[in-house]
């Protein structure tokens, strides 16, 4: 890890959610919508319950990027999920800036339960970004 590394295959950690974005990611597989195999998923109940320290841990341990596949307005725990996920992303990006890391290494998008194609599009373009960025 570190700034000098040239990322041929950037590793991305996806935080997905049990009821909303997980089904979309599963369906991407079912539909054989290919995306880079260096994209890994950890499932949590809700995207607004992701701790900034987990994201930092991932980036510090060797992931090049973290993608939050957020519940959006479909969140089974209520629509406040949207704002709360946004807030934790904001807070974490501030920490990244303070640490001199590229805040764009953390990305978030709402992925609904049938949003397989948008998911694949997002992780592909994120992969491309990380490949081209020096961080």
Partner 1 sequence: MKKKIGVYVCHCGGNISDYVDVEKVREEIEKDEGVFLAKTTMFACADSNQKDMVTDIAEKQLDGAVVASCSPKLHLLTFSAVAERAGLNKYNYIHANIREQASWAHSDDKVGATEKAIQIVKAAVAKVKRSNALEPIRVEATNAVAVVGAGVAGLRSAIELAESGSQVYLIEREFFVGGRVAQWDDLFVSNETGKELITRLYDKAMNHKNITLFTGAEIVENSGSVGNISLKVKVSPRHMKLNCDEGNLEKAIEVCPVEVPDKFNFNITTRKAIYHNFPGEYPQLPVIDMEHCTRCGECEKVCKNVDFSQQEEFLNIKVGSVLLATGYDPYEPKNDEFGYKTIDNVVTLPQFKRLVHYCDDKLVYKGKEVKNIAYIYCVGSRQVDGENKYCSRYCCTATIHAAITAKKKYKEIYNFHFNRGIRTYGKQEVLYDESSRMGDIYLQSFEDHPPVVSKVGDKTMVTIKDILTADKTLEVEADLVVLVTGMVPRQDNSIGSLLKVPKGRDNFFNEIHMKLRPVETVIDGVTIAGASQGPKNIMESMNSSLAAATKSFSLIAAGELALSPTIAKIDADNCEWCGKCDDACPFSALTKTDVNGKQVAVVNEAVCKGCGMCMPVCPSNAIELIGYTDDQIESMIDALVSTH
- Which of 5, 69, 82, 1 has the alpha carbon at shortest distance from 40? 69
Cβ–Cβ under 8 Å, residues 13 and 65:
yes
Nearer to partner 1, 16 or 102 (CB): 16
Cα-to-chain-centroid distance, residue 134: 19
CA distance 9 to 91: 27
CA distance 88 to 81: 11
With a CB cutoff of 8 Å and minimum separation 6, the contacts of 99 are none
CB of 132 to partner 1, least distance (A): 20
CB of 134 to partner 1, least distance (A): 20
CB of 17 to partner 1, least distance (A): 10
Nearer to partner 1, 74 or 102 (CB): 74
Nearer to partner 1, 55 or 102 (CB): 55
Nearer to partner 1, 88 or 106 (CB): 88
CB of 118 to partner 1, least distance (A): 15
CA distance 40 to 13: 5
**Which residues bind to partner 1, rule: CB under 8 A?**
11, 13, 22-23, 25-30, 32-38, 40-46, 48-54, 57-58, 61-63, 76-78, 80-81, 84, 87-88, 91
């Amino acid at each position: 890890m570190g700034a000098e590394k040239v990322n041929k295959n950037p590793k991305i950690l996806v935080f997905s959610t049990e009821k909303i974005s997980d089904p979309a990611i599963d369906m991407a597989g079912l539909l054989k919508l290919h995306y880079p195999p260096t994209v890994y998923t950890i499932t949590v109940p809700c995207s607004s319950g992701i701790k900034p320290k987990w994201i930092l841990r991932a980036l510090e341990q060797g992931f090049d990027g973290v993608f939050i596949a957020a519940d959006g307005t479909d969140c089974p725990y209520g629509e406040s999920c949207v704002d709360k996920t946004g807030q934790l992303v904001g807070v974490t990006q501030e920490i990244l800036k303070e640490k001199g890391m590229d805040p764009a290494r953390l990305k978030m998008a709402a992925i609904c339960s049938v949003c397989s194609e948008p998911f694949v599009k997002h992780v592909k373009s994120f992969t491309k970004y990380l490949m081209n960025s020096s961080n």
